[in-house]
Amino acid sequence: MSAQPEQEVALQPAGIIERLVRDDVDRKRFLKATGGAGAASFATFVMAACGSGKSKSSGTAATATQARSQSAGDIAILNYALTLEYLETQFYEKVIASDLFTGKVGSLVKDFGEQEKTHVEAIEGAVQKLGGTPVTPPTGRFPIVSAAQVAQLAYTVENLGAAAYLGQAANIKNPEVLASALAIHSVEARHAATLGTLVHKSITPDGAFAKPAEMATVLAAVKPFLA
Query: What is the SS3 string spanning 4-40?
Result: CCHHHHHHCHHHHHHHHHHCHHHHHHHHHHHCCCCHH
**pLDDT at res. 27:** 54
Q: pLDDT per residue over 93-129, tens digit each? A: 999 999 999 999 999 999 999 999 999 999 999 999 9
Distance CA 105, CA 119 (A): 21
pTM of the model: 0.75
Which whole-number Å values give the CA distances from 84 to 138, 157, 163, 201, in the listed order? 9, 9, 12, 23
**pLDDT at res. 18:** 54
**pLDDT at res. 70:** 76
DSSP secondary structure letter of residue 143: -
Which residues in the chain land under pLDDT 50?
1-14, 30-31, 33-53
Where do the domains of the chain lie, and which CATH numbers do they carry? Answer: 6-225 (1.20.1260.10)
Distance CA 32, CA 52 (A): 19
